[in-house]
Chains A and B, each alone.
Chain A
């Protein structure tokens, strides 16, 4: 879930702030930057794999850092931020939309917009933007919200929460979040502007929206504390009259295993890395840190590496055997765990979640109905894979259906009859089979004139028979043509049957 930090660098952010216990002069911008650094500290400690991009905006916007996991790039960029003209939130949103859709397409994102409670003035002010939002004509002028990708919009206001400007700005911010329609929250400082209050605010945001998922991976008696990245979001399934929300529970329970060829690239709605968590208590580590400093921490991470973890065992075997594990994440929601490699070198354990519900992978059948293979192979078909689950009926392309929309369809069916007719009496059965098939279709379509046409064709075939032809051929052709012209031909229950002759069909 990439994050875009949008920092207001308008002149109003350069207003100085009086800090009680400091003699140095600070601007709001500095306070905001301190907040961003706090946020980045939190990410490096708890949410390492998050991609973050930094945008600075005033009347225009500039992407100061592309999406990166190397937060030092962002920290460096922050030190170089300068002050520019007036606040224009719309241009920031436009910038966010552009950089994000180009890079991530349909991935869900979070925006942290940092401003100071001033809405801007005149054209380009938030007030003006929201008023004219619905009156935009051309596509280029279209208001950037709602974003074309799922995105939460958080607004952090670096200002005294009791400031009358901030009070009047809040409804506009809320409206912005509502127009975005994907959730988000306004974060105000808790008390007057200070390094401490801004730290607290950013930590509050981070803990609420960037708290890592912590759960347990279960497989029989094996269990392993794991983290998922990105953190799983609730999945909302909208049907006609109701909305059902599914959430990944804190227990990911493996129910069994399947071979990759059986699971057959099933569609998945989300993917998460499964990272084992250190089994040691966090507080322990902190205590030790306090006592022994850095060397102990290093030791710890080495110890973690040397304590066997179920995830590593599972990963290794899945990879070697080309198998996947099927896991249940909550009622009616399943996923598969497999070894995944981005590049060829580094591979890791991945959980891919299927569409919630029982039948989202038709060739596996309902998930709740998966059972131990031992139970299945009570009879002696042990060797054969029980997958895919085959539907009771065949699709049109897997059976011989009759379609005469194009003349070529009709022609090829007639040709089949005639091809066998020319090889009578050898192809006696095939001839009558094809003839009946064509005739039945003609009856279903109410295409009665075709029967006469077929009879004519058979008559002509009869006259074209070479002198060397078997006498039975002519008899059968005449018999079939006569049947097609009779009353019985219109009775769908009747079939044309071969004429009984004295020639044994098998003799040459």
Chain B
């Protein structure tokens, strides 16, 4: 952007005594006319040529700053004085203040040479040579800066001879500036000079207009002329549209309450300016004829009328849109304009419809405000190649019905994005903020089953706090206590033989036995806690607590199921280990298939027996793999489990005659009891109903 011709524009205001005269366009300012007799209305007032110039420049600036608030810079010079620097924080306010200080030209001719047109031009060239902040930054980075800019000179020209002189002057001046390369000033690579000749209304113009043409590879030259007053404003808006490639849209048929009579409403039109590319699609169509009309605000440009569609609901939808540009209302303070802009800024979006003779409704644009700025959005109107897409349910994974949709919704909310505040940006240093968001995602997805039937742990309401606590960066003493309490709770549940939410395995069999489920729960717990154990010392303590609580007979499951998944977690986290991660996925799949088979065997109830004692080899493997522990703690844990095994025999086995123990001896009783209770309830309720 810093090397575009629109990056820098210098206005020269001619402050010679000529501009002190009236523009000859009367303005009625007395609003008292309607009041009773006896009051003589004030005579109309006249603006000076200077005032018209200043107002015109202000409007030019207002339009550009509304549409391009960044990267477009302006300076105003008058004679030898420059009124503002580049990258002025609030250009229009600064200029207003400086212009008030400078004041209008004086009518008396004192020193004509001070106002010579050449002085203005020479200071404007100096301005263009000064780098803007963006250009300075590029220079500091060692980038090549192509310094381009435009000079718009609001002046009065004596005759065509003077035009030729100016033409020669600019050529020479730019030739000269190339030769003298000073360290802090840039040479001008390209410059466009626009002379705007203006005379009071009713005077002869007497200057031949010259359309923009190249004098040489780096200078373009244009002469244009206008009467002052409203005509000059029109000319400057026209130039602004040309220079910044803007075009006009008129929003038609805006229903508005009448100012005097609030019960009736009438339709109004509001004209907006915006980058011409917003209408690209409109004019690419072959049948674009009749889409433009003359500007309703009297500007010398065409406007595209688009019909207002009253928004029906407040629901904010995601519209597909191909472009969005800022707009600028032409007559900013008029009642229809401010009604429209206030309506939009309040958060409503308005669709705009193309006028079509055929009667087909084609909505091609949308007006909406974001952060106090109004944008025109272009909506695609032609056929899309994405029409009639296959449904997601037809693809991979489409037939699975028990995704944890709600839980992932929570996950997404926990991983919402926010812009980085300046203070935070500083603390991040060189690391890009989005990487912190990715870190957060990685952390919260370490142990996250996608479907309900894959997990018991995440289906237990009373354990839902555990993952939330573990994902934190640090744990307080209380939180650590909370975690351990939750683990003890599982222990308690197991001892009480509480029922667990059984993952739906389809229609095959009765589903796995309860102790099988508890074993799965414990191993899930371990995977969860283990994946966060390296976060802090307290996290590790949670793991220790868990390992102490686990029954030794669970070990087998740990080995078969969770080792690969742990590995997956680690490698999946790193950016480079993709193939390794894929490998582990496969491995995991294999292991999961294996355990389902085991589950099925168990569910068929053919062999109701305890899991076989872990093979020695596998137990050793577990020791080798259980990362994050010292050899000593591992050995201690091992000893502890062995002791536990010795000291505490399975209670049921003590009562049973042989080596085998019957499990769930009370199961049948319970269920029959329960059904009894149920029928009792129903029986009780019936009379009431």
A interface residues with partner B (beta carbon < 8 Å) = 1-2, 49, 51, 69, 101-107, 148, 216, 219-223, 229-230, 239-241, 253-261, 263-269, 271, 273, 275-279, 302, 304-318, 320-321, 323-326, 328, 338, 340, 342-343, 345-350, 352, 362-365, 367-378, 386-391, 393-398, 401, 403-412, 414-415, 418, 440-441, 443-450, 453, 456-457, 460, 464, 490, 492
Q: Does B395 contact A (CB under 8 A)?
A: yes
Q: Indicate whether A220 sits within 8 Å of B391 (C-beta atoms), given known contacts A267-B377, A342-B386, A412-B333.
A: no
State how many angstroms separate the Cβ of A455 from the closest Cβ of chain B. 11
Per CB-CB distance, the 3 closest pairs between chain A and chain B, nearest first, are A309-B397, A446-B104, A105-B382
Determine whether the beta carbon of B29 is less than 8 Å from that of A394. no
> In B208-244, which residues have CB < 8 Å from any A CB?
230, 233
Contacts of A240 in B (CB 8 A): 3-4, 146, 148
- Asked if A107 and B385 sit within 8 Å, CB to CB, the answer is yes
Q: Which residues of A contact B99 (CB under 8 A)?
A: 444-446
CB of B490, distance to nearest CB on chain A (Å): 24
Task: Decide: A369 and B434 in contact? CB cutoff 8 A.
Answer: yes
Contacts of A259 in B (CB 8 A): 416
Residue B399, interface by CB 8 Å: yes
Chain B residue at minimum C-beta to C-beta distance from A222:
B445
The answer to whether A368 and B96 have CB atoms under 8 Å apart is no
B368 A265 Cβ-Cβ under 8 A? yes
Which A residues touch B415, using CB under 8 A? 256-257, 372-373
| A49–B385 CA distance with the chains assembled, in angstroms | 8
In this complex, how many residues of chain B approach chain A with their Cβ under 8 Å: the count is 139
**A419 CB → nearest B CB, Å:** 10
Inter-chain contacts of A349 with B (CB < 8 A): 392
B562 within 8 A of partner (CB): no
Q: What are the residues of chain B within 8 A of A371 when measuring CB–CB?
A: 417-420, 424, 433-434, 436-437
Given A222-B448, A256-B416, A444-B99; A317-B55 close (CB under 8 Å): no
B113 within 8 A of A: no
Contact B281 A255 (CB under 8 A): no
Chain B residue nearest to A306 (CB atoms) is B399
**How far in angstroms is the closest Cβ of chain A from B564?**
14
Is A370 within 8 A of B329, CB to CB? no
Whether the Cβ atoms of A239 and B66 lie closer than 8 Å is: no
- Determine whether the beta carbon of B62 is less than 8 Å from that of A401: yes
Best-surrounded residue of A255, A306, A449 (most CB of chain B within 10 A): A255
Contact residue among B50, B105, B372, B396 (Cβ-Cβ distance under 8 Å from A305): B396
Question: In the complex, what residue of chain B is closest to A379 when comparing beta carbons?
Answer: B421
Q: Are A239 and B433 in contact (CB under 8 A)?
A: no
CA distance A368 to B406 in the complex (A): 29
- The residue that A312 contacts in the complex, of B284, B398, B406, with Cβ under 8 A, is B398
Which residues in chain B, 257-290, are within 8 Å of chain A measured between CB atoms?
280-281, 284-286
A residues less than 8 Å from B381 (CB atoms): 105
Per the bound structure, the CA–CA distance linking A219 and B92 in Å amounts to 46
Contact: A311 with B397, CB < 8 Å? yes
| Residues in A whose Cβ lies below 8 Å from that of B384 | 107, 271
Whether A411 and B28, one on each chain, are in contact in the complex, defined by CB atoms closer than 8 angstroms, is: yes
Task: Give the docked Cα–Cα distance between A448 and B320 (Å).
Answer: 52
Are B28 and A407 in contact (CB-based, < 8 A)?
Answer: yes
A232 to chain B, nearest CB (A): 13
Q: Are A348 and B389 in contact (CB-based, < 8 A)?
A: yes
Q: Which residues of A contact B27 (CB under 8 A)?
A: 407, 410
A256 to B416, CA, bound (A): 6
For window 633-682 of chain B, which residues contact chain A by CB distance below 8 Å?
none
Interface residues of B in 282-336 (CB under 8 A from A): 284-286, 316-324, 326, 328-329, 331-334
Verify if B488 is at the interface (C-beta below 8 Å from A).
no
* Contact status of A365 and B419, CB under 8 A, knowing A317-B408, A447-B47: yes
Contact pattern, B 434-459, Cβ under 8 Å of A = 1, otherwise 0: 10111111111110101100100000
Task: Please report the C-alpha to C-alpha distance between residue A236 and residue B418 in the assembled complex, in whole angstroms.
Answer: 29
Other-chain contact of B434, A220, A258, A267, A368 (Cβ < 8 Å) = A368
- Report the nearest A residue to B342, measured CB to CB: A397
B71 to A, closest residue via Cβ? A359
Is there contact, CB below 8 Å, between A313 and B408? yes
**Closest A residue, CB atoms, query B234:** A405
Can you identify 9 A-B contacts, CB atoms within 8 angstroms?
A: A221-B568, A258-B416, A265-B349, A325-B412, A346-B390, A368-B433, A418-B31, A448-B104, A450-B45
The yes or no answer to B481 lying at the interface (CB within 8 A) is no
For B32, B318, B581, the residue with the greatest tally of chain A CB atoms inside 10 Å of its CB is: B318
Q: Are B372 and A391 in contact (CB under 8 A)?
A: yes
Q: How far is the CB of B654 from chain A (nearest CB, A)?
A: 43
Residue of B nearest to A463 (CB): B39
Do A445 and B326 contact each other (CB < 8 Å), given the known contacts A265-B319, A401-B332? no
Question: From residue A443, how far is it (CB to closest CB) to chain B in Å?
Answer: 4
Interface centre among B397, B405, B414, B433 (most CB of A within 10 A): B397
Chain B residues positioned under 8 Å from A362 (CB to CB): 370-371, 373
* B-chain residues with CB within 8 Å of residue A317 when the two chains form the complex: 405-406, 408-409, 411-412
Give a binary string over B42-56; 1 marks a CB under 8 Å from any A CB, 0 the rest: 100111101100110
Give Cα A374 to B306, complex, Å: 43
CA distance in complex: A372, B439 (Å)? 9
Contact A312 B400 (CB under 8 A): yes
Contact with A375, one of B370, B387, B436 (Cβ below 8 angstroms): B436
- Whether B321 contacts A316 by the Cβ 8 Å rule is no
- Name the CB-closest residue of A to B28: A407
- Residue contact A302 to B399, C-beta cutoff 8 Å: yes
- Given A397-B66, A445-B58, output 9 extra A-B contacts at Cβ < 8 Å: A220-B446, A221-B445, A362-B373, A369-B432, A370-B420, A375-B433, A390-B371, A395-B374, A447-B104
Q: Given A369-B419, A370-B417, is A273 in contact with B386 using a C-beta cutoff of 8 Å?
A: yes
Residues of B within 8 A of A230 (CB): 385
A255 touches B441 (CB 8 A): yes
The chain B residue with its CB closest to the CB of A301 is: B396
- Return the contact of A405 from the options B230, B281, B418, B451 (Cβ within 8 A): B230
Taking CB as reference atom, which chain A residue is nearest B297? A406
Measured between alpha carbons, how far is A2 from B386 in the docked complex, in Å? 10
Given contacts A273-B389, A369-B420, A369-B425, contact A105 B285 (CB under 8 A): yes
Report which of B286, B372, B437, B573 forms a contact with A390, defined as CB distance below 8 A.
B372
Whether the pair A456, B146 counts as a contact (CB closer than 8 A) is no
- Tell me whether A372 and B418 are in contact (CB under 8 A): yes
Partner of A457, one of B42, B317, B419, B585: B42
Inter-chain CA distance A418–B366, complex, in Å, is 39
| A106-B104 CB under 8 A given contacts A363-B370, A370-B420, A371-B424 | no
The interface residues of chain A lying within 8 Å CB-to-CB of B50 are 446
The complex places the Cα of A196 from the Cα of B31 at a distance, in Å, of 89
A345-B391, A464-B39 known; A444 and B573 CB under 8 Å?
Answer: no
